[in-house]
Structures are given as C-alpha cells and as structure tokens.
Structure 1
Amino acid sequence: MTDINQQATAYDDNNIFAKMLNGDIPCHKIYEDDKTLAFMDIMPQAEGHVLVIPKQKAVDLSDLEPEFAAAVLMTSQKVMQAQRKVFEREGIIQMQLNGAQAGQTVFHYHVHLIPTSIHELGRHAAVMADQEQLAKLAQQLASAITV
C-alpha cells in the first residue's frame, strides 16, 4: 500500500508552475520579485482571478519556508490592492488548497486571489479564459500595483 503522506509531499519539477518559473511556458504576469510570481489564472473562477506562487519548490503550506510564506503574503497584499482599484470592489476571496483531497490540482504551493463573492464563485478549473482578455487584465493589474 502506498503512503499517502509521501505522495502528497513529493514535488514534481514538471508541474506547470515550475515550468513557468523556469521560463519554459508563458504566463500573464502581474508581478514578480526575487521570491514570488503573480499571474492570471487561465481557468479563472471569476474575472481577475490571480495566482501567487513562491519561487521555492513547495507542494503545500507545510513545505514552505517562512521567508517565502511571508513573501507570498506581501505579494498577495499588493495584488489585492490592485484588484480593488481595477475592479472597484472591496471583497477579494483569498483561497489556498493543500492536497488533492482539498481540491489542489497543481502541486506547487499557490494562493488564489479572486475578486468576487463566495456566492458567485465559479467552478475551479472548469473553463479556459480568453487569452486576449487575460493579457488585458494582467496589464491593468500590473499597472495598478504599487511597489
């Protein structure tokens, strides 16, 4: 029998976020610094859905080093402020899933920042967004970030 804890903590260097960090595949970048990357979710649950990831190989919160955890939160604050400006709304869902049983589908730690109401939240990873619209939103959000 396979140990579920070993499966849950094994980092896959070929996951889509690792490929983004390595520059192997593009993303609609919002913000980047030495410890984090923020970009548009290509299968958003609402317009303006952004993901923030650390530049550390970590599957979930329990794997994340404190300085990277702090950096993710600081980047999340910047992105949320930009989302509030661009979408003219206060409410932003901040969601983070740990493990497949919780709904995590990419096994690289990440935070979802979704400018919507929990009552209007779309289905996770259900519909691919229009790439031109994502590029436009990424540019608007990136312009609204204050460093």
Structure 2
Amino acid sequence: MTVFEKLIAGEVPCAKVFEDSEVFAFMDAGQVNPGHVVVALKRPAETILDMTEEEAAALFRAAHRIARAVDEAFTPSGITILQANRPAGWQTVPHVHLHVLPRHEDDGVTLGWPRKNPDLDQLRTLAARLRVQA
C-alpha cells in the first residue's frame, strides 16, 4: 500500500485540499513553494498508462480547479503542473498523481533536459510511429 493510499484512507494525516469520487488532493509535505498541492487519483493506478481516459480527465479537471485556487490564494508569478511516470520519468511514489506547483521568479526550482533538435524530416518519422486515435 502506497503512502497515497494511506492518506486517502485516512490512515495518515494530511492537509486535504479537495476530494471527489475519483480524486484526492492534499498539500505536499515537501512544499517547494507555499501552495504546492499533490493531486492523486483515488484508485491505486501506478502511472498515467494505467488510468482510463475518464480518470485522466477527472484528474486534470481537479488540477485545473486547484490551480485556479492556488493562483487566487498565493498569487504566484507562474504555475507548473508536473506529472511523472516510472522512476526513469522521475516518479517517486508508484501511484498516479500530479503536482500543482506555484512558481516565483528566482525560486530555485529547475527542470531541464538536453534538447536534441532533430530536423523536420526526423520529427515526421517519429510522428509516423505513433498511432493516436481521435
């Protein structure tokens, strides 16, 4: 059982922000900046790949509402929404969730990766490998 399952079940105390039938949101104990909220699916799906489309929509609907509330309450200069999958993708808790992170100029938060800059033909070749259904 993950720590998120324990939080959702009320076995571990937290500062709850939002709850509905599919989503549970709480203040991140590691507050990168004041107002940092974790939004988790109630069902213990490990990654975004394990969710239904409806669950993904519910998760992002809740994140949208929470981001608006964070913006109003904390007036950040910006907001970062972060969702990570599997350890190589920076996921630290194996329960699908995202972070609503209020941001401020020079807050010390970084997120960077080396850009590869393939040409347009290479991008089209990569796109052709995907089979996304409308």
Pick one of 95, 100, 105 that aligns with 2:92: 105
User: Secondary structure of the equivalent of 1:92?
Assistant: strand
Structure 2 residue corresponding to 1:40, chosen from 5, 27, 32: 27
Aligned length: 110
Shift of 1:74: 0.7
Name the amino acid aligned to 1:69: A
Structure 1 residue aligned with 2:62, among 75, 79, 90?
75
Change (3 A) 1:94 1:32: same
Q: What is the TM-score when the length of structure 1 is the normalising length?
A: 0.69
Change (3 A) 1:103 1:121: farther
Paired amino acid for 1:49: H
User: Where does the alignment leave 5 or more consecutive residues of structure 2 unmatched?
Assistant: 111-134
Give, in angstroms, the shift of residue 112 of structure 1: 0.4
Instruction: Give the 4+ runs in structure 1 shifted more than 6 A.
Output: none
- Larger radius of gyration, structure 1 or 2? 2
User: Are residue 16 (structure 1) and residue 14 (structure 2) matched?
Assistant: no
Residue 57 (1) aligns with residue 47 (2): no
Give the conservation status (yes or no) of the 8 Å contact 1:93–1:117.
no
Task: Give secondary structure in 1 for the equivalent of 2:59.
Answer: helix
Higher helix share: 1
RMSD after superposition: 1.7
Asked whether the equivalents of residues 45 and 121 of structure 1 are also in contact (C-alpha less than 8 Å), the reply is: no
Match of 1:89 in 2: 76
Q: Secondary structure at the match of 2:46?
A: coil
Q: Which residue identity lines up with residue 73 of structure 2 in the other structure?
A: V
1:25 aligns with 2:19: no
Equivalent AA in structure 1 for residue 71 of structure 2: R
Q: Percent identity?
A: 33
Residue 102 of structure 2 corresponds to 115
Distance 2:12 2:36 in 1: 19
1:55 Cα deviation after fit:
1.2
**Higher RCO (C-alpha 8 Å, min separation 6):** 1
